[in-house]
Structure 1
Amino acid sequence: IADSFVSDKVDLICTIATPSAQTAYNASMDSDIPVVYTAVTDPIAAELADKDKQPVGEVTGTSDKLPIEEQLEMIRKILPDAKKIGIMYTTSEANSVSAIAEYKELAGKFGFEIIEKGVTAAADVPLATDDLLDQVDCITNLTDNTVVSSLATVLEKANEKKIPVFGSEVEQVKLGCLAAEGIDYISLGKQTGKMAARILKGEKQASQMKFETITKPGFYANTKVAETLGIEIPQDMLSEAVESFDTIEK
Structure 2
Amino acid sequence: MLTLERKTLIQNVLRRDGRIVAKSFAEELGVSEDTIRRDLRELAKDGLLQRVHGGALPSSPAIADYHVREQMASSAKEKLGRAAAGLIKPGQIVFLDGGTTNLQLARNLPPKLEATIITHSPSIAVELAQHPSVEVELIGGRLFKHSIVSMGAASAEAISGIRADLFFLGATGIHPETGATTGNREEAAIKRLIARQSAETILVATQDKIGAASPYLILSLEEIATIVVDADVPDKLLEQYSATGPAILKA
Q: Provide TM-score, normalisation by structure 2.
A: 0.38
Flag the structure with more relative contact order, 1 or 2, with Cα contacts below 8 A and sequence separation at least 6: 1
Q: Provide TM-score, normalisation by structure 1.
A: 0.38
